[in-house]
Amino acid sequence: MTYESIRYVVAENVAHIVLNRPHKKNALDMVMRDELWHAVAQARDDADVRAVLLAGAGSDFCAGGDVSTMRPGELDAEAGRIRISSVTRGAYSLLELPKPVIAAVDGCAYGAGFSLALASDIVLATERSRFCLSFLRLGLVPDAAALFTLPRAVGAYRAKHLLYTAQEIDGRTALDYGIAGELVAEDQLHDRAWQVAAAMAKMPPTAFALCKSALLRSFSAETAVMADMEMNGQGIAYSTQYHADAARRFLDKKGLPYSWPKPNKAPAPGGGGGQ
């Protein structure tokens, strides 16, 4: 597929999806939305892709929905629900994606841009990152699964504060709140994000998918259900070739295939940030 509003590149078993409307701070219009979810499905179905890296072109991650395309006052409730349904399905596809999703957030992550970060597995941010649930400022409710992901990331009270005040927080605060997992210098964000994504592409695919699926359901499942999921998942993981190879390497005192990378080991393929 030829994309208009995103860039899609696969290297080192990583699908790099770049939101590419920098003149609009990568705000999501209907074309970009459809292309983004198509790219996520493409990454899901490509056996060569083992991780997904989501970033924005230019100096911003995503300013949220493109207000100029929202047709304010023209949609009834049914039409509005239909219009947003693809966003909900798309966010759910990220949450259910059986591969790690890394979001590299610089500049603004407003509205649905914040939601996209929350739907990712790992968020890397910079000091100048700006996260804001701006929905209530426009008379809207959060979408892209933010009402599900936000309280799980920051707790119920802090979720209320972020939503009801619609205040902006910076990258360091996002790190303190548990929204971001790591704070990176702006000029190192692209290389660090590639480094993390390339490392996570070496994770055991079956064990990772089982863990991600179980964690997604852990807040609403009973203890016995989660215990069963652990036991069943471990039974499957024990049977994988990845486990057999890793255990053999461990016993032979050789390096294991996956470990979390220390910063600044190697430049990203192609360099040049999300530009």
Q: What is the pLDDT of residue 272?
A: 43
CATH classification number, 205-251, choose in 1.10.1220, 3.40.390, 1.10.12, 1.10.10: 1.10.12
Which letter does DSSP use for residue 222 in this model? Answer: -
For CATH 1.10.12, list the domain ranges present in the chain. Answer: 205-251
Q: What is the pLDDT of residue 275?
A: 43
- Using CA atoms of 268, 11, 126, 211 in order, give the dihedral in degrees to the nearest 10: -130
Which letter does DSSP use for residue 137 in this model? Answer: G
What's the whole-model pTM score?
0.90
Per-run averaged pLDDT (10 residues), the chain, 275 residues: 92 96 93 94 97 97 81 71 81 95 97 96 97 92 93 96 96 96 95 96 96 92 91 93 94 92 67 46
Q: What is the pLDDT of residue 271?
A: 45
User: Angle at Cα 203 formed by Cα 54 and Cα 232, nearest 5°?
Assistant: 115
For CATH 3.90.226.10, list the domain ranges present in the chain. Answer: 6-200
CA 272, 262, 123, 4 dihedral sign is positive
Q: What is the pLDDT of residue 273?
A: 47
The CATH architecture to which 6-200 belongs is Alpha-Beta Complex (3.90)
